[in-house]
Amino acid sequence: MEINNLQSKARCGDDSAEDRLFRLLRARFLLLAQRKLRDRDDSEEVVQEALKTVFEKHREMEFETSFAAWAHRVLENKILTFLRTRKRHNDRRENFVEGTAVGVQDQPDSALESRLLDCLRKLNRVNRRHARILVYKYQGFTVAEICDRLGLTRTNLYTLLSRARSMLEFCLEKGDLK
């Protein structure tokens, strides 16, 4: 792929290849961002953030698949972050308009909280590893940290996390584990 070849040359110090690489990335990123965000200014802002991240890291990164795939993932992450931030901002604005305090969280539903804790206890009795993974994940540990702590591969962790979430969801709906 042309992008990967340009990145290889740019990594070796070819300035013209780096210039072509970022012009090509910018054009592709703009098309993708405009399709998802539907606003030219927002798209430009997100693309600039993504290109900045790519520029800062592309020379030192080792890519699992390819540079192009990694760069597009950077853009996707920037788009998601932008959309989440915009949603949060809109939610705060709606709360302000409705007369509620901005940023004040409602008290959690105590019935839901007790059901959740009960289901986590049941899950812990059935499969301690699943329960530990959920607890680590929701305490904010990164995937790499959880893998290190439990001696798992990323793929294995994602599989176990998916199963644990399914079991927890089933328990919350039905009141017991499968």
Query: Which of 2.30.30.90, 1.10.3720.10, 3.40.50.720, 1.10.1740.10 would CATH assign to domain 2-97?
Result: 1.10.1740.10
Distance, CA of 54 to chain centre: 17
Q: Measuring CA to CA, which residue among 56, 50, 53, 51 is closest to residue 79?
A: 50
Q: Measuring CA to CA, which residue among 46, 35, 53 is closest to residue 85?
A: 46
CA distance 10 to 177: 54
Whole-structure pTM over 0.75, yes or no?
no
Q: What is the pLDDT along the chain (178 residues), one digit of tens a residue?
A: 588 888 888 888 888 988 999 999 999 999 999 988 888 888 999 999 999 999 998 888 887 778 888 999 999 999 999 888 877 766 665 655 555 444 444 455 677 788 888 888 888 899 899 989 988 888 888 888 899 999 999 999 989 998 998 888 888 888 887 6
Architecture in CATH for domain 110-174: Orthogonal Bundle (1.10)
What is the pLDDT, as a whole number, of residue 50? 93
